Structure 1
């Protein structure tokens, strides 16, 4: 699976970014606007909700639990300083997608037994959006973390995130993660639609290849 995370750029509006990712076949969008007011966030969401609906794509908000409920989107992604996932589940209900940020195996183990749908594990490498808040994980780190949590029968889907490009996908998927999140690599490519399509192909190929092992 591929999650596209929006990020303000000088080249495209957020709606244009989402439209291109959807045209490339992405079915999972995270609207992330950390510095926006609730009203600015709402106005952007109103632009992209119809696009996601038309493409039958999932849409989750970064944080903004109240807005996610107000606008009836599929769910939220919660960072470490956002609402507690247990409270979010209680507030939003059983059908809502709830994802959480993780940087270590201990973070993922902390979700054991919780009604969380996936974790975004990163950063793979430093990015302008992460600003070195957590140590990079790298390929060896992903492999070690996946092995550690799976050994404890924690089957929570793990999505790799943080500065990932197409050239990284095969090796990252080989570590046992379940999906990839991308942002800048897509936005900054010469053809975001084609780049998204190629990323999805590589994810699917890698998932099939390593599933057979």
Structure 2
């Protein structure tokens, strides 16, 4: 199965259209240290999602950074994306794998122990635990898992799949990156902390540097 570098997952949410064109944001993140780009759109029509996803894929073509679609296997297929990120209520990973093929990237959201066990057994390339902290980017009906929950869920996943990359999402800042990585995350996913800043390129560079430093310290 394809190995994924999950150090920095830059999520290009449709709400960022007020900041800049989504393909431009995706390319800027990829050029400055993001290792995975995810397009998330909870409201647009399927037609518009496919158009946007295709434009993002084209903008990323020269960077070599993989590109996945949040939730929508059909959009991933239609737009020629590298794969999909699935939530608990989305298509089962086994079905997505049959549709997308062995080389596609499939990621899973993990919010609780049942999700962690599912991710550890599923034919996926990575899991992302969250929300870790409170966030303004998404309304989460469930309480944040915190660092303790992150550590426990990561241990559950790794007990079933020792090599699966495990990321963390929600409310993560430069200051909390070391704690999140120390708790077991192999990388982080972010939206506002990367894209709603005065210097997007600088924010991406800084996040990548902090993540790399924290990972090196964990391995020391």
Q: Same fold judged by TM-score > 0.5?
A: yes
Contact 1:109 1:154 in 2 (8 A): no
Q: 1:211 to 1:130 in 2, by over 3 A?
A: same
Give distance in 2, aligned partners of 1:146 and 1:79: 17
For the pair 1:6 / 2:6, whether they are aligned, the reply is no
Change in CA separation of 1:106 and 1:185 when aligned onto 2, cut-off 3 Å: same
1:171 aligned residue: 179
8-17 vs 169-178, which moves further: 8-17
Query: Separation in 1 of the partners of 2:54 and 2:153?
Result: 38
Within the candidate set 65, 89, 100, 2:97 is matched to 89
Q: TM-score, normalised by structure 2?
A: 0.90
Q: Indicate the SS of the match to 1:57.
A: coil
Aligned pair 1:137/2:139, yes or no? no
User: Match of 1:207?
Assistant: 215
Distance 2:121 2:34 in 1: 30
- Between the aligned partners of 2:88 and 2:218, the Cα distance in structure 1 is 31
Q: Distance in 2 between matches of 1:3 and 1:165?
A: 14
- The secondary structure found in structure 2 opposite 1:177 is coil
Of 41, 44, 59, the match for 2:52 = 44
Work out which of the residue numbers 107, 111, 116 in structure 2 matches 1:108. 116
Q: Describe the SS at the equivalent of 1:112.
A: helix
Displacement after TM superposition at 1:153 (Å): 4.1
Deviates more, 1:15-24 or 1:117-126: 15-24
- Residues matched between the structures, number: 211
Match of 2:161 in 1: 154
Q: Choose 7-16 or 73-82, whichever is displaced more.
A: 7-16
Q: Distance in 1 between matches of 2:145 and 2:138?
A: 13
Q: Name the stretch that deviates more: 119-128 or 192-201.
A: 119-128
Length-normalised TM-score, structure 1: 0.92
Specify which of 35, 42, 47 is matched with residue 27 of structure 1.
Answer: 35
Query: Tell me, what secondary structure is at the counterpart of 2:61?
Result: helix
Looking at structure 2, the residues matched to 16 and 184 of structure 1 have their Cα atoms a distance apart, in angstroms, of 16
Query: 1:73 aligns to what SS in structure 2?
Result: coil
How far does the alpha carbon of each residue in 1:136-157 deviate from its partner, in whole angstroms, 9 at most, with x for none? 011222123223443x343232
**Pair 1:19–1:111, CA change in 2 (3 A):** closer
Change (3 A) 1:147 1:46: closer
Query: What residue is the counterpart of 1:180 in the other structure?
Result: 188
